[in-house]
Chain A
């Protein structure tokens, strides 16, 4: 997985870079937008780590233009502002996720992996979360070496939770993903699927507790390295 870090503070860029290399990423550095453009033109990147305050322009504006021209990969924005409304502005401009400074390398790595798990990302074929492995082409799921025997909706749910591992997936999003618009959803349908999936995970690898319930909101699959 190749990542381009666009950050003008040399120490932050280098420290983030070496941290991500240690986490298994291939990393290139760009100190400003001009060199970022040059790097994107000469090689293909899976993701971008973008600082907003750059010497030759505003990172958000650059991202917005790049998104329109479809030339930039998924972007994780780093912001020193941390203001509540910056988040909305950033996501509108085409940032896929954001982190406020100071950040931890583990967090950056986790967010980048989450970006790369999104549908359409290049590394889409196999999802890996802890002991769980999901082959999206063959729709086969493995817990360790054991293959899980999942019904269609259980597999759909697991794929959704694995793609969004580490974040809460709302119940409404699950219903939308699992059921077509006209199919009636009984009130406890999602709960039933979750509890069957949890039991199967428990039987296969004792990892049913990775699947957390956030009562009244949705579900979360714990991310483990």
Chain B
């Protein structure tokens, strides 16, 4: 293994080697002085072989015998004591992008690294706190927007102007956006890991269908539920409900008049929504999913934050959101 110049392991090994070499030199010097060896003795061709023999037998060989195993032992000790750091680094790397409350576990770390790990944890504390404040602020803003928007909506309803209908639609869109912002903020503020216990997916599907059916029927579309098996998952019921609702809203938007949006429960711990639109390509889902991460501008086809929200909820529940364009299905698979 080639180590970078500033590697701790390389510096420690080098240091130890230097100490060994210097020690051996000092030992030789000490022996020379002790036995009164002079350069003349060394130059004397009769004495030299016996001196060399003596030195080899009593100094060089013991030092070699000591140094070789010590070198390997030192390397092993150094590596072993650095290994927890590597493991921690991997853990930090693997912490998911939205995981709140992640902290470096300091129990198995060597004492020397503790101040560093504690500093990292303090930084994570501050980041979490800042994010929470920001999200609480976003929720407050969304909340405060509702009152003026209500007045605006009511005033527009009284207008008898050709533009009134368009304005009403704009208000409906703004309202939906506020709802979505608040769901996102709420999901993050109240730790998403906090579970309600077992959530029956069939019940969620029926509740979402009941909620959305009046709107769908006004828009001349149908909603249906198909249940295979009795799937239930651990998680937050309202969050899963919001995810399925967003999938259904997405389905209603792409389904033509007279079409049906079907919520499919199971088989297995999965819930899916099938529409009668063109089907969502894998790359397109990826783009929509990333929207909230990259603060993209809204798309022209009005998907809003819907699928980004679903993806966030899925991540919080260790679920996977996938698309099957051929079956025109978006699927949430729980672990």
Given A15-B158, A218-B210, A220-B213, A82:B179 Cβ within 8 A: yes
B264 (CB) vs chain A CBs: closest residue? A216
Residue-by-residue, is B141-162 near A (CB-CB < 8 Å gives 1, otherwise 0)? 0010011011111110110000
Given A80-B143, A167-B214, A215:B154 Cβ within 8 A: no
CA distance A156 to B224 in the complex (A): 24
**Structural contact, B224 and A214, CB atoms closer than 8 A:** yes
CA distance A141 to B179 in the complex (A): 41
B237 (CB) vs chain A CBs: closest residue? A84
A108 (CB) vs chain B CBs: closest residue? B154
Interfacial chain B residues near A16, Cβ < 8 Å = 154
Interfacial chain A residues near B241, Cβ < 8 Å = 84
Interface residues of A in 156-212 (CB under 8 A from B): 166-168, 170, 212
Most buried by A among B143, B153, B154, B226: B154
Interfacial chain A residues near B182, Cβ < 8 Å = 82-83
**Structural contact, A102 and B146, CB atoms closer than 8 A:** yes
CA distance A16 to B210 in the complex (A): 27
**Structural contact, B214 and A216, CB atoms closer than 8 A:** no
A167 (CB) vs chain B CBs: closest residue? B214
**Structural contact, B150 and A12, CB atoms closer than 8 A:** yes
B143 (CB) vs chain A CBs: closest residue? A80
**Structural contact, A84 and B183, CB atoms closer than 8 A:** yes
Let me know if A11 is at the binding interface, CB within 8 A.
Answer: yes
Taking the nearest CB of chain B, how far is it from the CB of A162, in angstroms? Answer: 15
Interfacial chain B residues near A218, Cβ < 8 Å = 210
**Structural contact, A216 and B146, CB atoms closer than 8 A:** no
Indicate which residue in B157, B168, B210, B238 contacts A217 across the interface (CB closer than 8 Å): B210
**Structural contact, B214 and A103, CB atoms closer than 8 A:** no
Residue-by-residue, is B163-190 near A (CB-CB < 8 Å gives 1, otherwise 0)? 0000010010001001100110010000
Q: Majority SS of interface residues in chain B?
A: helix
Residue-by-residue, is A6-19 near B (CB-CB < 8 Å gives 1, otherwise 0)? 00010110011011
A165 (CB) vs chain B CBs: closest residue? B214
B148 (CB) vs chain A CBs: closest residue? A102
**Structural contact, A103 and B225, CB atoms closer than 8 A:** no
Let me know if A104 is at the binding interface, CB within 8 A.
Answer: yes
Given A102-B149, A216-B224, A170:B157 Cβ within 8 A: no
Interface residues of A in 94-117 (CB under 8 A from B): 100-105
**Structural contact, B210 and A11, CB atoms closer than 8 A:** no
Interfacial chain B residues near A83, Cβ < 8 Å = 182, 186
Let me know if A222 is at the binding interface, CB within 8 A.
Answer: yes
Let me know if A65 is at the binding interface, CB within 8 A.
Answer: no
**Structural contact, B213 and A168, CB atoms closer than 8 A:** yes
CA distance A216 to B205 in the complex (A): 10
Let me know if A85 is at the binding interface, CB within 8 A.
Answer: yes
**Structural contact, A84 and B214, CB atoms closer than 8 A:** no
Let me know if B288 is at the binding interface, CB within 8 A.
Answer: no
Let me know if A147 is at the binding interface, CB within 8 A.
Answer: no
**Structural contact, A103 and B150, CB atoms closer than 8 A:** yes
Let me know if A81 is at the binding interface, CB within 8 A.
Answer: yes
Residues of A within 8 A of B (CB): 9, 11-12, 15-16, 18-19, 80-85, 100-105, 166-168, 170, 212, 214-218, 220, 222
Query: Can you list 30 A-B contacts with CB-CB less than 8 angstroms, sorted by A residue number?
Result: A9-B150, A11-B151, A11-B154, A12-B151, A15-B157, A15-B158, A19-B154, A82-B143, A83-B186, A84-B242, A100-B146, A101-B146, A101-B147, A102-B149, A102-B152, A105-B157, A166-B214, A167-B210, A168-B209, A168-B210, A212-B213, A215-B226, A216-B225, A216-B263, A217-B209, A217-B224, A217-B225, A220-B213, A220-B214, A220-B217
Residues of B within 8 A of A (CB): 143, 146-147, 149-155, 157-158, 168, 171, 175, 178-179, 182-183, 186, 205-206, 209-210, 213-214, 217, 222-227, 238, 241-242, 263
